[in-house]
Structure 1
Amino acid sequence: MRFSANLGFLWTDRPLPDAIRAAAAAGFDAVECHWPYDTPAPDVARALAETGLPMLGLNTRRGAPGENGLLALKGREEEARAAIDEALAYAAQIGAGCVHAMAGFATGPEAEATFLANLRYAADAAAPQGITILIEPLNHYDAPGYFLTTTTQAARLIDSLGAPNLKLMFDCYHVQIMEGDLTRRLERMLPKIGHIQFASVPDRGPPDTGEVNFTHVFATIERLGWTGPLGAEYRPTAHTDDSLGWLTTLR
């Protein structure tokens, strides 16, 4: 079992290149991030080359303060597509294989049509670069009003577009809160999944706490034949280095 450190939550007390180095020193197999745009891409690329870690993915920008993505917001298509272009360009510079296209706060048929149109744009733009576009359902406690909330909704959108490089970001934390039944849902959704993340439920802490038995979940993922690194997207209760006991016990 291989693991990726999500540097949007881990080692946030240091610049992104140094966080990459810390993840390598801790024994992670890959890294991923949220919004790296304030760090010059060549600096990130150098840290990745130095450590040998791949960068799995990054997010499109959230938008204005208080927003959580742009792709489902009718009337904001120009901004949304600029955010897509920016994310793809940055991903290409650092060799990231995925871009998480953030939907934003919206509801209804117009939001869905807008999201689909922007996802088509993103998938078409990403395909020549070999980049996968990910969509991620978020739970309604952490992100009330977010457009995408369940794996069922995400799967329907993926099927409706039919783009081979559009996949589901299956975050065990969000899925457990919204839908539960993690292992059966992983089995059903596996062909549509592009990346898997995890954190404890309900506090989004390290995976060796909380209500989910990640020993069982990880064993199921391995049994299903998943070979990609699993993304540790949790909030440490103290310093990141003090929260990593699970990396040995759950590996």
Structure 2
Amino acid sequence: MSGFSANLGFLWTELTLPDAIRAAAAAGFDAVECHWPYDTPVEAVKSALNETGLPMLGLNTVRGNVAAGDNGLAALPGREDEARAAIDQAVSYAQAIAAHNIHVMAGFAQGADARETFITNLGYACDAALPHGITILIEPLNHHDAPGYFLNTADQAAEIIEAVGAQNLKLMFDCYHLQIMQGDITRRLEQFMPLIGHIQIAAVPSRGEPGDGELDYRHVMQTIRSLGFTAPVGAEYRPVASTEAGLSWMQKIA
């Protein structure tokens, strides 16, 4: 399998999730992924996936109390029960729709206690996901969009993955976030490819369509494929206008 996965957290947001899946198929995407599908009945999502033949590559654990500023729970000391309830919810939904991956969101936290909490909760997540063949992902976020987020670099993620020591824990390599935080994307793809479970793209610094900005995604995609990564690459960008109006990037960088 190759090509691109439509991230329906950002694309076709005016549609219901099942209709967004259908729109992604009509636009030529090879897979879909989402953020927080939990308000949509499982059967409706399964029906759309079966109808289109698209795989669901992944979903996220819930952020927590967004109104109070939460952006994930897994690295927050003292909130382990909430974090594990979010993991259980994600595993149950992912198993029901045959999603491949779950991104366990760390949240806003710093320090040694946060690190130990994250490691422990990730161990719980990996144990819960393993019987279903689901991979757990962790994703570094940049400090402009998510100041104070626990996980910021690929190196930090690699250290956490090693500390957890689970076979189904991988790195979500988001080129947008990591270009802002670290740059040198080609060499970092080469360095971290053995740990990568999913790759996402967007223009830098705008987070618009991947055909624009400071990264040459034709070169990035060539690098990704030359390194043997054959899964669809996630298009997690914010369309400048409508989703359909900006889809020419798919031909520009493929």
1:211 aligns with 2:217: no
Q: Distance in 2 between matches of 1:64 and 1:195?
A: 27
State the TM-score, normalizing by the size of structure 1.
0.99
1:164 aligns with 2:164: no
**2:229 paired residue number:** 226
Identity fraction in percent: 67
**2:106 paired residue number:** 103
Q: Distance in 2 between matches of 1:85 and 1:6?
A: 22
Runs of 5+ consecutive residues of structure 1 not aligned to the other structure: none
- Displacement of 1:248 in angstroms is 1.7
Give the match's secondary structure for 1:208: coil
State the TM-score, normalizing by the size of structure 2.
0.98
1:70 aligns with 2:87: no
Give the match's secondary structure for 2:63: coil
Q: Deviations over 1:72-130 (max 9, x none)?
A: 00010000000000000000111101000000000000000000000000001111110
- Displacement of 1:161 in angstroms is 1.3
1:11 aligns with 2:44: no
**1:56 paired residue number:** 57
1:241 aligns with 2:244: yes
**1:195 paired residue number:** 198
**2:124 paired residue number:** 121
Q: Deviations over 1:46-72 (max 9, x none)?
A: 000000000000000000022100000
**2:154 paired residue number:** 151
Q: Distance in 2 between matches of 1:244 and 1:35?
A: 23
Runs of 5+ consecutive residues of structure 2 not aligned to the other structure: none
Q: Distance in 2 between matches of 1:13 and 1:209?
A: 24
What root-mean-square deviation, in Å, do the aligned CA atoms of Structure 1 and Structure 2 show? 0.6
Give the match's secondary structure for 2:142: coil
Give the match's secondary structure for 2:170: strand
Q: Distance in 2 between matches of 1:203 and 1:246?
A: 15
Q: Distance in 2 between matches of 1:194 and 1:205?
A: 23
Q: Deviations over 1:222-243 (max 9, x none)?
A: 1111100000000001100001
Q: Distance in 1 between matches of 2:233 and 2:198?
A: 7
Q: Distance in 2 between matches of 1:39 and 1:125?
A: 22
- Displacement of 1:250 in angstroms is 1.7
Q: Deviations over 1:143-195 (max 9, x none)?
A: 00000000000000101111010000000000000000001000000000000
Matched residues, number: 251
- Displacement of 1:249 in angstroms is 2.2
Q: Distance in 2 between matches of 1:249 and 1:213?
A: 10
